[in-house]
Structure 1
Amino acid sequence: MRILVVDDSRISRRVLCDQLAKLGHEVVGIAEGSEALARCREERFDVVLVDFKAGAMEGQEVCWHLRCGQAGTHHVYLMLMVPGSITGQFAEIIENGADELLRKPLDESWLQARLLAASRVVRMQRELERLATTDGLTGALNRRHFLERGTEELQRARRHGRDLSLIMLDIDHFKAINDTHGHAVGDEAIRTCVRTCRAMVRQSDLLGRLGGEEFAALLPETNRAGAVLVANRVRGAMAITGVVLPAGGPLHFTVSIGVGVLHPDDRSVETLLARADAALYRAKRGGRNRVEVEEPTATTTGPG
């Protein structure tokens, strides 16, 4: 597991980090609770092991911020280390967000056992998160989570003055594929579309299934020219990939793609998505199997 250790004692922190590393965990050690909140906003940890005193913050306060989402973080398993002199406050500590308590000085075998139990909870939590945020057929982000993550990326791009682009694509004549070859072939076409897109975009890009045969990829730090390049690569790769029919032989299909770029006054990813959707509609009307870029005045959308 990936574990964040928060302890303002340099010696104690070093000893604990070494113990955890020997148990096979990836460990990051810091002194301040405020830094823990910042690190958890930017990085993914499975467990946070926080001392009762974390610099200027109390360990309970760190747990409260992480548990209630005030820090804007993902779910983590919180273990609060308390001195052996504390004999009460247990219910209060758990109410403030900690998942469990560890008495100091820590017993290594007990620590290992509690981390094993924590790993089971973490695995279940990650699976629940996966089911709630991804499309069951393709493994791409579902629409709701794509919009949530897209909003985060848009805010980050605006905050740092960086480029952001979005490509929206739709399988051409998808109804005919379903009607002629059946829904199983249609599902395989959808999965193939996502696999091909994933091979064409970066790991840092967001790929989502918006519904039916419609998909989108959000491209951080990518300008208009870069997005058009990616879109044409996706379009070209899709045209030569195809799926294998049950009776044998390949079925080739194409996609139409619309490109949208971040404007200075954009406040939501839905606005960017709407411009890409309008461009996609023009690609459909223009003959399909083509890429169209947003027009500055494009504000309406149409059927795929």
Structure 2
Amino acid sequence: MRILVVDDSRMARTALCQQLEGFGHQTAFADSGAEALVRTRDEDFDVVLVDFRVGDMEGVEVCWHLRAAQGAKHLYLMLMIPGSITNQFFEVVENGADEFLRKPLDWAWLRARLLAASRVVDMQRQLERLATTDSLTGALNRGRFMGRAADEVMRAQRYARPLSAIMLDIDHFKKVNDTHGHATGDEAIRSVVRVCRSLVRGADILGRLGGEEFAILLPETPPQGAVLLAERLRRALAVTEVRIPGGVGVTFTVSVGVSALKPGEESVSALLARADEALYRAKNGGRNRVVCDETVEV
């Protein structure tokens, strides 16, 4: 697991990090509650170990802020308390800690508690995947995609950076299902996601919005770059074969719409609506083609 140690004592946190690394974990540290908030916002951690007092903040206060700020992330919070404390257990848990550890730390006990924490973290990750990904393809589901897209729209407007969107839809999908069966249709849908993943960047956001319709958000990408990618996707998918029983290969095509974020535009829905309009012009224009939003100059 990746563990953040929050302790303003350099000696204490160094010893703890060394011990945790000896257990096979990855570690990082923060010497204040404010730094812990920044690091957990910008980086991924599984567990946070917080000292009972960190600078001018109580450890329970740090836990409360971490829990309040975590959003969709789940952090397993462990508060380290002096052995002399005997009556603040409810307060510790009420303020967001998942459990507490007695100081001085017993290394064998810490290792056992981290093993238990890893099971909780794994279960939470599985629940997050179920809640945010499409079960058929593993792409983001509509809700998670829209949330990520909204964040990217805010970032693009804040820093005046380009942001483009691609929407694509399998042509004559009902015919694929009716002729070859739903299993073949499902494999066609999975093939779209596989091909998209092979061509998009790690920073790009891919989602299945429903049925045979998909969307890709392209941060730091002007419309010219989005059109080039859209055309590569269209060509790659047109030669992708879906195997069916008997060894026969089935091919399909997609229609694609492209749009770009306008200056001052704050709605991801508007960005996607223009890509969707372009997509349906591609459908009406004969399918198996890329069409741009009419407001985009390429």
Whether the TM-score (by the shorter chain) exceeds 0.5 is yes
Alpha-carbon distance between aligned partners in 1 of 2:62 and 2:240, rounded to the nearest angstrom: 50
Instruction: Tell me the CA shift for residue 219 of structure 1.
Output: 1.0
In the alignment, is the contact (CA less than 8 A) between 1:134 and 1:145 conserved in 2? yes
Are residues 1:29 and 2:65 paired? no
Are residues 1:157 and 2:174 paired? no
* 1:74-101 deviations in Å (ceiling 9; x for gaps): 1110001111221211101100100000
Alignment RMSD (CA, Å): 1.3
Q: How does 1:233-272 map to 2 (within 5 A)?
A: 233-272=232-271
Listed as ranges, the gaps of 5+ residues in structure 1 are 298-304
Are residues 1:232 and 2:231 paired? yes
Which residue of structure 2 lines up, in the alignment, with residue 18 of structure 1? 18
Which is further off, 197-206 or 151-160? Answer: 151-160
Alpha-carbon distance between aligned partners in 2 of 1:276 and 1:105, rounded to the nearest angstrom: 59
Which residue of structure 2 lines up, in the alignment, with residue 187 of structure 1? 186
Alpha-carbon distance between aligned partners in 2 of 1:192 and 1:56, rounded to the nearest angstrom: 55
Cα distance 1:55–1:262, how it changes in 2: closer, same or farther (>3 A)? farther
Instruction: Tell me the CA shift for residue 71 of structure 1.
Output: 5.1
Alpha-carbon distance between aligned partners in 1 of 2:275 and 2:88, rounded to the nearest angstrom: 54
Which residue of structure 1 lines up, in the alignment, with residue 200 of structure 2? 201
Cα distance 1:223–1:45, how it changes in 2: closer, same or farther (>3 A)? same
Are residues 1:49 and 2:49 paired? yes
Structure 1 residue matching 2:84: 3-state secondary structure: coil
Give % identity: 66
In the alignment, is the contact (CA less than 8 A) between 2:167 and 2:215 conserved in 1? yes
Q: How does 1:60-209 map to 2 (within 5 A)?
A: 60-68=60-68, 70=69, 72=71, 74-209=73-208
Alpha-carbon distance between aligned partners in 1 of 2:294 and 2:41, rounded to the nearest angstrom: 35
Instruction: Tell me the CA shift for residue 207 of structure 1.
Output: 0.7
* 1:178-220 deviations in Å (ceiling 9; x for gaps): 1111111000000001111111101221110000000011111
| Segments of 4+ moved more than 6 angstroms | none
Which is further off, 50-59 or 165-174? Answer: 50-59
Which residue of structure 2 lines up, in the alignment, with residue 58 of structure 1? 58
Instruction: Tell me the CA shift for residue 56 of structure 1.
Output: 3.2
* 1:140-166 deviations in Å (ceiling 9; x for gaps): 000001001111111122222221111
In the alignment, is the contact (CA less than 8 A) between 2:255 and 2:282 conserved in 1? yes
Which residue of structure 2 lines up, in the alignment, with residue 300 of structure 1? none
In the alignment, is the contact (CA less than 8 A) between 1:167 and 1:217 conserved in 2? yes
Alpha-carbon distance between aligned partners in 2 of 1:276 and 1:54, rounded to the nearest angstrom: 49
Instruction: Tell me the CA shift for residue 55 of structure 1.
Output: 2.5
Structure 2 residue matching 1:208: 3-state secondary structure: strand
